[in-house]
Amino acid sequence: MAYSETEKLNQILIGAALSNAVCTVTELGIPDLITAGTPVSAESLAQSIGAHQRSLYRIMRYLASYGIFKETPNAQFDHTALSEALRADAEGSYRAGARTWFQLFPTFGTLHHSIMTGEAGFIKEYGKPIFEFLGENPAMAPLFDAAMTSFHGYETQAMLDAYDFSGIKVLADIGGGIGSLIGSVLQSYPEMKGILFELGHVLGRAEESLKSQGLGDRCKFIEGNFFESVVSGADAYIFRHIIHDWTDEQSVQILGNCRKVIPADGKLLLVECVIPTGNERSISKDFDIVMMIAPGGIERTEQEFKDLFSKSGFQLTSVTSTSTMVSIIEGTPV
């Protein structure tokens, strides 16, 4: 059915329900209770989790109308590609991403604060910046790490396809999370060595993950805070979804610390969305709002990256787009 312009507006106005519904059914474990090709009734799903049957049916029907699950003619629910990606065992599972937003959903209510003050709404809601909050919440932090792999893991192969990392002897992944990026690059370039630089509370999980892939002896794990210093000893420095977490001033501080240790012929690689100019619909503009309210950062245009680079002692040498939302923004020291 085609919607009128005002009905479209209605749909947008109550659109928070969609995000909340996906995150909630994932938190409840519904995607894992359905095996593709074997539909399950809402009654049976409700019994499995002790839920109110009619309410669960209505949520499932709503999600199915967006292509997340599908309802069969006899009122059972089966998977679609989108709902299957929410299963714990899906390749590149989005479960952790959905569960993280289930936990942090109140952040979306803080947009007014962010617009009026320029401060991350997260701070108003939770009393401290997100990375401090995670460091003090041992239950939440591993979920957030896994969510980063949910949201960004699929970008790695696209980066490897688009950008030639050959010639790099030691690659330092700064704020590398649990190592999904550095692990894949090291697997693809067997001569390369890696350094994973992270906050102390994340590093243990990164080390465990790389060791389980047999890469423990090709990667050093260095604890640090990139606002104080960046590890030396690499000829290329990669920052994936780091700079978008921070304001321009903070970003210049981080990149300035990288500038102090990068060799004269070294490479700086940022992996980020590049916001297109004009009215074009782009998921980078959605992530930009998430950056505004959660860490207090910014998704940037190419010109904004050029400006950041020049303020930090780098020049932007290339922007390589990938088949995903991210590009590889390369710079060299000046």
Ligand X SMILES: C[S@@+](CC[C@H](N)C(=O)[O-])C[C@H]1O[C@@H](n2cnc3c(N)ncnc32)[C@H](O)[C@@H]1O
Give residues in contact with ligand X (CB under 6 A).
Answer: 131, 148, 152, 175-177, 181, 198-199, 202, 225-227, 240-242, 245
Nearer to ligand X, 87 or 241 (CB): 241
Q: Which residues pair with 40 in a beta bridge?
A: 77
Query: To the nearest whole angstrom, how small is the minimum distance from the Cβ of residue 215 to ligand X?
Result: 16
Query: To the nearest whole angstrom, how small is the minimum distance from the Cβ of residue 226 to ligand X?
Result: 4
Query: To the nearest whole angstrom, how small is the minimum distance from the Cβ of residue 312 to ligand X?
Result: 16
Do 239 and 327 form a contact (C-beta atoms < 8 A)?
A: no
152 is catalytic: no
β-pairing, 326-333 vs 267-273, is: antiparallel
Query: To the nearest whole angstrom, how small is the minimum distance from the Cβ of residue 227 to ligand X?
Result: 5
Nearer to ligand X, 121 or 175 (CB): 175
Per-residue 3-state assignment (H helix, E strand, C coil) for the chain: CCCCHHHHHHHHHCCHHHHHHHHHHHHCCHHHHCECCECEEHHHHHHHHCCCHHHHHHHHHHHHCCCCCEECCCCEEECCHHHHCCCCCCCCCCHHHHHHHHHHHHHHHHHHHHHHHCCCHHHHHHCCCHHHHHHCCCCHHHHHHHHHHHHHCCHHHHHHHHCCCCCCCEEEEECCCCCHHHHHHHHHCCCCEEEEEECHHHHHHHHHHHHHCCCHHHEEEEECCCCCCCCCCCCEEEEECCHHHCCHHHHHHHHHHHHHHCCCCCEEEEEEEECCCCCCCCHHHHHHHHHHHCCCCCCECHHHHHHHHHHCCEEEEEEEECCCCEEEEEEEEC
Two tokens at 334? 């000046």
Query: To the nearest whole angstrom, how small is the minimum distance from the Cβ of residue 75 to ligand X?
Result: 40
Q: 71: exposed, middle or buried (C-beta count within 10 Å: 0-12, 13-18, 19+)?
A: middle
Q: Among candidates 204, 203, 182, which has minimal Cα distance to 193?
A: 182
Nearer to ligand X, 79 or 241 (CB): 241
Integer Cα distance of 192 and 235 in angstroms:
11
Query: To the nearest whole angstrom, how small is the minimum distance from the Cβ of residue 190 to ligand X?
Result: 22
Nearer to ligand X, 40 or 326 (CB): 326
Nearer to ligand X, 189 or 226 (CB): 226
Amino acid identity, residue 85? A
Nearer to ligand X, 84 or 198 (CB): 198
Query: To the nearest whole angstrom, how small is the minimum distance from the Cβ of residue 148 to ligand X?
Result: 4
Point out the residue whose Cβ comes nearest to ligand X. Answer: 175
Which one from 79, 152, 241, 244 is the annotated catalytic residue?
A: 244
Nearer to ligand X, 34 or 148 (CB): 148
Active site residues: 244
